[in-house]
Structure 1
């Protein structure tokens, strides 16, 4: 017999990220963030390898990350507009959880499966924050793919990279609904 969780299904059918630039103080406390991180860590991880970890960035660290973003942008030859846009998530940020993908040696689990798991953690973290009543947005950006930034900002090891930065704070203005995928265009049914 099927057991439906209509509240969970309704949440998933109506969930909506909140743009990071619309998030306002306060951000969750350590105690408020703990169940959100716990929910995110329950993501399937292909062999119980835990190919991910969290770095919680609080308001006091945001200015340093904005500066490191600008320095990386100059080093990479990014335009002033690209630099301003990339650093804005830190200039305006209140709290962000960096989901770090950790590649681990395994004779059975392919590296791509670990990448999938870290991405699933990002979505679970985002949904757990939204379900808890916070506004949240999953971002990345060119700086999150730059080795120099990753090492200077977060001390990432060679086998680690940023899967996403999930900004979490109080929901500001509610954005309008956006168009969603047309299921008929993106779904193929195989019956034989």
Structure 2
């Protein structure tokens, strides 16, 4: 049922938001010269996939978790995108393709070994990663791998249609701050 909702919502979201996506991409082009950011992430069953987002950092920033990146790497437009969470909109494409869900554990990087190990022990890789979830609305990010893995596991265990919609609503209305940058 959740996969069907993910597919329908991401398709409608991409169609409805397409003018906004084009505008943001155009502004992003003038901001960084390359508005779309692609990065390999850990997916369901630890299968790699390419996550797409709007670029919020300078083009030559090292490919590390957000909490390890320098705040000086974020562009002015990138700050706006992060604050409004509009940088996440292109991930609707990942959801449409079935690589992600709207709700699930945020996909980590393969070089985040501590997080990957903690998630593996807790069975987090048994589900599709998501755009938002329990950890995100509670401002738990990848800088606390053990707590994040525990929170992800708790969300997976208790996820139902009501909580699915609750996490989406909380995210859309501005709850949570996303990944922190030092």
| TM-score normalised by length of structure 1 | 0.28
Bigger strand share:
1
Bigger helix share:
2
The one of the two structures with greater contact order (alpha-carbon pairs below 8 A, sep at least 6) is 1
